[in-house]
């Protein structure tokens, strides 16, 4: 199965290396594309050749061997390229899941997928319990709370905090920096809480999932605690994730989840949903 990559940052790099090393199953890396051509060229060189750098995104769209396009760029990239990927008959894997909090964009992507006979894939990401949330959603979820704790460096870049004059550089103790719905969270922290969008789409809803974000200087990793209560019972999960080696804002598990999703697309035995 041919895969092309949209976005050559940290997650894109991890995915590309996994595909080239055979850890994603029977998958071949076809094209790399990034808005910064230098970034895609550097990744191609790191991979040791044999992978094409797309001069324009249309090269990927016209490639008959590309079956799946993996978006690992930004919410803006999902909005800019998602529809044409799906209309072309290629599947789209979305890493910047927060983009789908935009109801109009989600509707257009689903319509494009229906027209193209393609599918939208959303990996479980860096939180545990997505399968359980999907199953519980069939009979009703009454309450859902996601509490995310991150080192200050993983949140300090946020325009949301800068606009409010929140300085985390000298933080000595944990500080709550956000409380609201999943819809509000993914807009305020577009690179940090894509898991909130994943859980929302799994069955909780963007306005049904409450999100609390805490900057914690005592941590060296990202911690996600999920509590869900509904007709199927109560679930509590805690994930303490090692940050990605090249980007403290990204959980390593998020990239690994995408690798496993690619493997599932070519496997004969599927475990979980």
What is the percentage of the chain residues whose pLDDT exceeds 70?
A: 99
Closest CA to 264 of 252, 254, 273: 273
Contacts of residue 32, Cβ cutoff 8 Å, sequence gap at least 6 = 4, 5, 8, 12, 16, 40, 43, 44, 51, 52, 53, 54
Of 122-126, 191-195, 263-267, the poorest mean pLDDT is in: 191-195
Report whether pLDDT(100) > 80.
yes
- How long a stretch of residues is the chain? 273
Report whether pLDDT(93) > 80.
yes
Query: pLDDT value at position 273?
Result: 64
- Could you tell me the CA-to-CA distances from 191 to 30, 214, 254 in Å, in that order? 26, 15, 12
Helix (H, G, I), strand (E, B) or coil at 164: coil
For range 169-197, the mean pLDDT: 93
Task: Name all domains of the chain by residue range, CATH numbers in brackets.
Answer: 2-121+254-266 (3.40.50.720), 130-241 (3.30.360.10)
CA-based radius of gyration for the chain = 18
Q: What is the mean pLDDT of the chain?
A: 94
- Rounded Cα distance between 30 and 119, Å, is 19
The residue among 156 and 213 whose pLDDT is bigger is 213
Contacts of residue 170, Cβ cutoff 8 Å, sequence gap at least 6 = none
The residue among 211 and 267 whose pLDDT is bigger is 211
Active site residue 224: yes
Helix (H, G, I), strand (E, B) or coil at 48: coil
Query: pLDDT value at position 272?
Result: 80
Confidence class of residue 227 from pLDDT cuts 50, 70 and 90? Answer: very high
Q: pLDDT tens-digit profile of 103-159?
A: 999 999 999 999 999 999 999 998 899 999 999 999 999 999 999 999 998 888 888
Query: pLDDT value at position 251?
Result: 83
Of 125-129, 179-183, 190-194, 264-268, the poorest mean pLDDT is in: 190-194
224, 250, 257, 261: the active-site residue: 224
Question: Roughly what angle, to the nearest 10 degrees, separates helices 37-46 and 10-20?
Answer: 30
Report whether pLDDT(197) > 70.
yes
């Amino acid at each position: 199965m041919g895969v092309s990559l949209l976005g050559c940052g940290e997650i894109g790099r991890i995915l590309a290396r996994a595909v080239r090393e055979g850890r994603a199953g029977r998958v071949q890396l076809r094209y790399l594309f990034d808005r910064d051509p230098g970034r895609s060229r550097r990744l191609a060189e790191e991979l040791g050749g044999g992978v094409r750098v797309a001069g324009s995104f249309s090269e990927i769209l016209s490639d008959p061997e590309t079956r799946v396009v993996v978006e690992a760029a930004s919410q803006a990239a999902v909005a800019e390229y998602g529809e044409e990927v799906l209309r072309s008959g290629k599947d789209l894997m979305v890493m910047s899941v927060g983009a789908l909090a935009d109801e109009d964009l989600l509707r257009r992507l689903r319509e494009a997928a229906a027209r193209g006979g393609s599918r939208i894939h959303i990996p479980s990401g860096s939180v545990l319990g997505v399968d359980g949330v999907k199953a519980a959603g069939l009979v009703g979820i009454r309450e859902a709370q996601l509490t995310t704790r991150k080192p200050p460096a993983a949140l300090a870049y946020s325009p949301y905090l800068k606009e409010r004059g929140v300085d985390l550089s000298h933080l000595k103790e944990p500080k709550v920096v956000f409380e609201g719905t999943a819809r509000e969270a993914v807009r305020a922290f577009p690179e940090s809480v894509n898991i909130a969008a994943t859980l929302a789409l799994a069955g909780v809803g963007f306005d049904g999932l409450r999100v609390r974000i805490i900057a914690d200087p005592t941590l060296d990793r990202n911690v996600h605690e999920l509590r869900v209560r509904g007709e199927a019972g109560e679930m509590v999960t805690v994930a303490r994730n090692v940050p990605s080696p090249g980007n403290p804002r990204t959980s390593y598990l998020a990239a690994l989840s995408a690798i496993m999703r690619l493997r599932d697309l070519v496997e004969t035995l599927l475990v979980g949903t």
